[in-house]
Homo-oligomer: A and B are copies of this chain.
Amino acid sequence: MEQTPSDPLDTALSGPQAAAELAAQMAAGGPPLATGTADKPFANMLCFSVYAAQLAFNRLYKQLLAPHGLTYLQYLVLVALAQAEDRTVGELGEVLFLESNTLTPLLKRMEAAGLVVRRRDAEDERVVRVALAPAGAEVVAQVECVPLDVLSALDMPLGDLQQMKAAIDRLGSELRKSTT
Contacts and interface: CB of A to CB of B under 8 A. Distances in A.
Interface of A: 1-3, 5, 10-16, 18-19, 22-23, 32-38, 40-42, 45-61, 63, 72, 76, 79-80, 82-84, 95, 97-98, 144-148, 150-158, 160-180
B148 A179 contact: no
| Secondary structure of the A contact surface, majority rule | helix
A115 to B, nearest CB: 16
Contact of A50 (B33, B53, B63, B148): B53
- Copies of this protein in the assembly total 2
A97 B55 contact: yes
A42 B79 contact: yes
B173 A22 contact: no
A166 to B, nearest CB: 7
B174 A33 contact: no
A76 B42 contact: yes
A162 B150 CA distance: 25
A12 B147 contact: yes
A56 B145 contact: no
Given A42-B79, A60-B178, A156-B171, 9 more contacts: A11-B161, A11-B165, A35-B83, A40-B95, A42-B76, A52-B169, A53-B175, A59-B175, A153-B177
Contacts of A95: 40-42
B35 A173 contact: no
A41 B169 CA distance: 14
Contacts of A36: 83
Contacts of A148: 19, 22-23, 33
